[in-house]
């Protein structure tokens, strides 16, 4: 047998859960031709893997590579870890479908920060762009509820009108027909946080009718955790759609005691016939935008409108007071690291805790003064 690559003597994990075996893996082109003993195989390249393990490529079911593919199409950060397939479009934030003012705002942002042109509106258009640049991994697209809501009604903090819900449902249905695999929610993020459960259920029902699934960053992963689980399970039950709860966690030590009840709610739903699963990561830290320390009402509208609230002394004072109410201890700012900024003038803050960044700016955040907090795009945080 002539093969292109022969991996010899590896400890083989075939992905089935079966015990490992020692053997060879023969590859022709981009296909596995044989697994076991490849005696007599003639290979263009041989890799001796006697003290190594060989496994199928890993699937990252929760990725945010949507726009990063255009910036690094070789996807080295994933491939070097053995990831060969990603599920993108998580947490309600997806690259497509997208239209209207939401597209215009993001097009300006990505052009300014990355020099990237957003010249698509549909899932089909987005995937065509990816095909043209040659992404090195396989991927499956989730549509973002937040992106659909923003496209249909901007960042409005109000119930959706019937015609706006229709636009979201039609956008989701079309996306499914063009190759998406389901819908994701980010009910802690604007504008998804402004939606009620009925709105999400109606869109999810349309996705289910097109054969899709629902994944969810829930409305709370901390103090309102149990209520959030009940809400998203209720949405999935009403829409009769399979549900995957994303990065299930019990945020803050005061909520760690909710773990058993959390799983009881999930298992009770499974016994009722709801197809619900979850994923969980073994960390005591998370990553999101620093804007998440802001009260939800302050995140309504476009980024220009959000910035205008911060620039207004009266509104800024109200925002500061509400942040302090939620975070009475200044020690909180020692736990939040600024992992990424987008403005060159703020590069000096990368890798610093918010408390350290505030001291560098000569404006220590204290219980009586958080005016120094960088606001923008937490615990690692992205900001401007």
Q: What structural domains and CATH numbers belong to the chain?
A: 2-56 (2.30.40.10), 59-284 (3.20.20.140), 288-383 (no CATH)
Q: Which of 216, 265, 276 is nearest to 90 (CA)?
A: 216
The secondary structure of the chain in percent helix, strand, coil, rounded to multiples of 5, reads 40, 20, 40
Query: What is residue 119's three-state secondary structure?
Result: coil
Q: pLDDT exceeding 70 applies to what percent of the chain?
A: 93
CA angle 121, 114, 375 (to 5 degrees): 95
Q: What is the pLDDT of residue 370?
A: 36
Query: What is residue 21's three-state secondary structure?
Result: strand
Q: What is the pLDDT of residue 284?
A: 82
Q: How confident is the model at residue 376 (pLDDT cuts 50, 70, 90)?
A: very low
Q: How confident is the model at residue 183 (pLDDT cuts 50, 70, 90)?
A: very high
Q: At residue 374, does pLDDT exceed 90?
A: no
Mean of pLDDT values over 20-35: 93
Q: What is the pLDDT of residue 251?
A: 87
Q: How confident is the model at residue 335 (pLDDT cuts 50, 70, 90)?
A: confident
Q: How confident is the model at residue 46 (pLDDT cuts 50, 70, 90)?
A: very high
Q: At residue 37, does pLDDT exceed 90?
A: no
Residues 6 or more apart whose Cβ sits within 8 Å of residue 269: 233, 237, 276
Q: At residue 40, does pLDDT exceed 90?
A: no
Q: How confident is the model at residue 297 (pLDDT cuts 50, 70, 90)?
A: very high
Q: At residue 64, does pLDDT exceed 50?
A: yes
Q: At residue 378, does pLDDT exceed 90?
A: no
Instruction: Quickly count: other Cβ atoms within 10 Å of residue 327's Cβ.
Output: 16
Query: What is residue 314's three-state secondary structure?
Result: helix
Question: Per mean pLDDT, which range of 108-117, 200-209, 237-246 is the poorest?
Answer: 108-117
pLDDT tens-digit series, residues 118-161: 999 999 999 999 999 999 999 999 999 999 999 999 999 999 99
Mean of pLDDT values over 108-124: 93
How far apart CA 176 and CA 211 sit, in angstroms, is 8
pLDDT tens-digit series, residues 266-279: 999 999 999 999 99
pLDDT tens-digit series, residues 226-270: 999 999 999 999 999 999 999 999 988 899 999 999 999 999 999
Q: How confident is the model at residue 381 (pLDDT cuts 50, 70, 90)?
A: low
pTM of the model: 0.88
Token pair 């007599």 is at which residue?
40
Q: At residue 90, does pLDDT exceed 80?
A: yes
Q: Which is it for the CA torsion 133, 136, 140, 146, positive or negative? A: negative
Q: What is the pLDDT of residue 107?
A: 94
Question: Per mean pLDDT, which range of 96-100, 212-216, 343-347 is the poorest?
Answer: 343-347
How far apart CA 200 and CA 193 sit, in angstroms, is 11
Q: How confident is the model at residue 343 (pLDDT cuts 50, 70, 90)?
A: confident
Q: What is the pLDDT of residue 372?
A: 36
Q: Which is it for the CA torsion 58, 116, 383, 309, positive or negative? A: negative
Q: How does the average pLDDT of the chain come out, rounded?
A: 91
Question: Per mean pLDDT, which range of 289-293, 354-358, 375-379 is the poorest?
Answer: 375-379
Mean of pLDDT values over 300-308: 90
Per this entry, what is the length of the chain? 384
Is 87 within 8 Å of 139 (Cβ atoms)?
Answer: yes
Mean of pLDDT values over 344-359: 92
Higher pLDDT, 362 or 242: 242
């Amino acid at each position: 047998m002539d093969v292109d690559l022969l991996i010899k003597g590896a400890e083989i994990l075939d992905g089935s859960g079966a015990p490992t075996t020692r053997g060879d893996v023969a590859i022709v082109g981009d296909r596995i031709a044989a697994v076991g003993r490849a005696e007599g195989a003639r290979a263009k390249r041989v890799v001796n893997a006697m003290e190594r393990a060989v496994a199928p490529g890993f699937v990252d079911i929760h990725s945010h590579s949507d726009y990063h593919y255009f910036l690094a199409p070789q996807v080295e950060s994933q491939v070097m870890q053995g990831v060969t397939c990603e599920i993108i479009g998580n947490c309600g934030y997806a690259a497509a479908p997208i239209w209207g003012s939401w597209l215009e705002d993001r097009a300006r942002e990505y052009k300014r920060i990355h020099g990237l042109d957003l010249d698509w509106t549909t899932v089909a258009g987005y995937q065509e762009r990816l095909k043209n640049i040659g992404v090195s991994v396989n991927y499956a697209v989730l549509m973002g509820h937040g992106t659909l809501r923003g496209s249909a009604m901007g960042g409005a903090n109000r119930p959706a009108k019937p015609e706006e819900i229709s636009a979201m449902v039609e956008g989701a249905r079309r996306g499914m027909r063009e190759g998406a695999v389901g819908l994701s929610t980010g009910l802690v993020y604007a504008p998804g946080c402004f939606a009620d459960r009925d709105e999400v259920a109606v869109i999810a029902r349309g996705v289910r009718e097109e054969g899709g699934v629902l994944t969810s960053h829930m409305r709370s992963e901390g103090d309102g955790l149990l209520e959030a689980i009940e809400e998203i399970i209720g949405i999935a039950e009403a829409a009769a759609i399979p549900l995957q709860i994303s990065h299930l966690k019990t945020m803050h030590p005061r909520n760690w005691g909710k773990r058993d009840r959390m799983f009881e709610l999930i298992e009770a739903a499974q016994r009722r016939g709801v197809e619900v699963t979850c994923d969980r990561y073994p960390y005591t830290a998370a990553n999101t935008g620093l804007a998440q320390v802001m009260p939800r009402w302050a995140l309504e509208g476009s980024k220009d409108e959000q910035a205008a609230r911060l620039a207004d002394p009266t509104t800024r004072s109200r925002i500061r007071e509400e942040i302090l109410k939620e975070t009475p201890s200044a020690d909180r700012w020692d736990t939040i690291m600024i992992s990424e900024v987008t403005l060159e003038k703020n590069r000096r803050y990368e890798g610093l805790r918010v408390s350290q960044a505030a001291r560098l700016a000569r404006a220590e955040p204290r219980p009586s003064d958080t005016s120094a907090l960088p606001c923008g795009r937490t615990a690692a945080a992205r900001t401007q």
